[in-house]
Structure 1
Amino acid sequence: MSLADDLYLAAHDTVRARCVLTPATLGLGLAGALLGELVLWRRLEIHDDRLSVVDHRPTGDVASAAVLDQLTREQRRGVRDWIAFLSTGVATDLVARRLTRAGLTRRTVRRGLFGSRLSFDPVDSVVSGLPATRIRVAAERRELLGVPDLVLTGLVFATGLDQHALATLDPRGRDHLLDQLRRRLPPPLQRLVGHAEAAVGDAVMARRA
């Protein structure tokens, strides 16, 4: 599965298949994850707070290719600008539909007092729990994570998802993960995670204002 797919699944409760993050926070995390996928695909580079397209070739994946196409056509280059733009439903929709095409989520219409709401819920609770379990077990065993899982871990902390996905992890395990993020995550991806975390913080403050 792709980085953004892992984050989407990790953000859902394995019992009720409900998202534990607010739509805004989920969107910001997935926006960072899709940009992270393009960095891992070597289509994007990040320098400080700016990004640049270094390879225009499609990735072969509908979701990341759609983001790459938009990046190529737009003039804005600020990382935070793109995280903000993609978080307004674009990232969540792209990732949810990618997972549905893979058979990992299903369209669910929930009816309430104020009308109907469409959601994409994980089909298999075991599969949806795998990303968080993979990180948690590696931390418990003090194993080193690969770069994609380090980005995923960074976004889990950036969105506050660690309070759910890593709730049972002991303090030494959390320290092990944070130390890896500081020492082993490449600087461009550290900056991407940092921008995502700042965007989540701004969104939280705006809701409280």
Structure 2
Amino acid sequence: MPSTTLPPTGWPLLADDLFRLAHHDTTGRPLLHSTVAGLGLAAALLAELALTDTIVVEHDQVFVIRHAPPGDALAHTVLDQLVGEQTAHTVRTWLAFLSQTSYDEVASRLLRSGHVRAEASRRLLIKTTIYVPTDANVAAWPWARLSTRLRNGQPLNGFDTVLAGLTLAADLHRHVVDGIPGNVITGLRQLVAKAPPSMRLLLHHTEAAVGDAVLTGH
């Protein structure tokens, strides 16, 4: 199957693939708590900017180093938010802020691209929206790609290394690597630890933020 991570603009859609991993590939049922999903997707949106050398993370703070408008509309919005602040903020501050809207914004990007359709769902008198994949093969591709490469001991490219790191940070890796020996997980953590400094810091703070959210129940 061809890669679904890059649109015609060439933008690395990390958040789209993480969204796919965080949902059942046919029903669209969420696999993560909404708070954790929001933090993971917020990190993925920042990672898209880091991968394209638009931002760097230094001393636990996010700095914009390139102001050229991204080809992706959502990335452009996130960059505008970063640029709009007079002073640099910490990764944790940006994760908390972006996580408030990241789920809906990434879902909207997938809706616009035709990869999901929105369906209303009602449970215990609470109305929610489920984003059902329009093509189960496309929805399952990130999982199949990571799982196959990890099982076979194949190297991961830069994009998939970050994606795998995001699954670790969001505690989603158990779904991706179900049944894979523990030494593979250890190797994956070692691989992520060799990622560029900005990405390592971003993933570290994301995992810490997720851990705090789980502990506090928020």
TM-score range, shorter chain: over 0.9
Distance 1:73 1:126 in 2: 39
CA–CA separation in structure 2 for the residues paired with 1:179 and 1:45 = 21
1:46 lines up with 2:52 in the alignment: no
AA aligned opposite 2:22:
A
Structure 1 stretches of at least 4 aligned residues deviating more than 6 Å after TM superposition: none
Give the match for residue 153 of structure 1: 164
TM-superposed deviation, 1:142:
1.4
Looking at secondary structure, tell me which structure has more helix per residue. 1
Q: Secondary structure at the match of 2:193?
A: helix
102, 119, 130: which one aligns with 1:119: 130
CA distance in 1, matches of 2:40, 2:126: 27
TM-aligned CA deviation for residue 113 of structure 1:
3.1
Is 1:205 the counterpart of 2:215 in the alignment?
yes
Q: 8 Å contact 2:28–2:131 — kept in the other structure?
A: no
SS of alignment partner, residue 36 of structure 2: helix
Matched residue SS, 1:99: helix
How far off is 1:15 after superposition? 4.4
Worse-superposed segment, 44-53 or 75-84: 75-84
1: distance between equivalents of 2:135 and 2:26?
10
- In structure 2, the partner of 1:102 is 113
Residue number among 45, 67, 78 corresponding to 2:90 in the alignment: 78
Conservation of the 8 A alpha-carbon contact between 1:39 and 1:45: yes
Following TM superposition, by how much is the alpha carbon of 1:119 offset from its aligned partner in structure 2, in angstroms? 3.0
* Number of aligned residue pairs: 206
Structure 1 counterpart of 2:9: none
Instruction: Give me the whole-angstrom Cα distance separating, in 1, the residues matched to 2:116 and 2:158.
Output: 25
Secondary structure, counterpart of 2:120 in structure 1: strand
Q: Distance in 2 between matches of 1:175 and 1:142?
A: 13
Of stretches 111-120 and 38-47 in structure 1, the one that deviates more from structure 2 is 111-120
Matches within 5 A, 1:152-191: 152-183=163-194, 185-191=195-201
Matched, 1:20 2:50: no
Residues 148-188 of structure 1 deviation map (CA, whole Å, 9 limit, x = unaligned)? 111111110111101212112222322332221123x1121
Q: Which residue of 2 aligns with 1:130?
A: 141
Secondary structure in 2 matching 1:60: coil
Structure-2 residue corresponding to 1:55: 66
8 Å Cα contact 2:146-2:176 kept in structure 1: no
Q: Give the match for residue 8 of structure 2.
A: none
- TM-score (ref. length: structure 2): 0.89
Post-superposition Cα deviations, 1:12-42, rounded to whole Å, max 9, x if no partner, equal 1234320100110000000000000001121
What is the aligned partner in structure 1 of residue 205 from structure 2? 195
What are the Cα deviations for residues 97-149 of structure 1, in whole angstroms up to 9, with x where unaligned? 11111111111111233242123232222211111211111112212111111
Q: CA RMSD in A?
A: 1.5
- Residue 17 of structure 1 contacts residue 125 of structure 1 at CA under 8 Å; is this kept in 2? no
Deviates more, 1:137-146 or 1:38-47: 137-146
Measured in 1, the distance between the counterparts of 2:131 and 2:74 equals 16
Q: Tell me, yes or no, if the aligned pair for 2:26 and 2:133 is still in contact at 8 Å.
A: no
Cα deviation per residue 1:30-61 (whole Å; 9 max; x = unaligned)? 00000000011211011021011111111110
What residue identity is the alignment partner of 2:18? L
Give, in whole Å, the separation in 2 of the partners of 1:60 and 1:51. Answer: 21
Alpha-carbon distance in 1 for matches of 2:45, 2:17 = 11
On the 8 A contact 2:49/2:75 being kept in 1, the answer is: yes
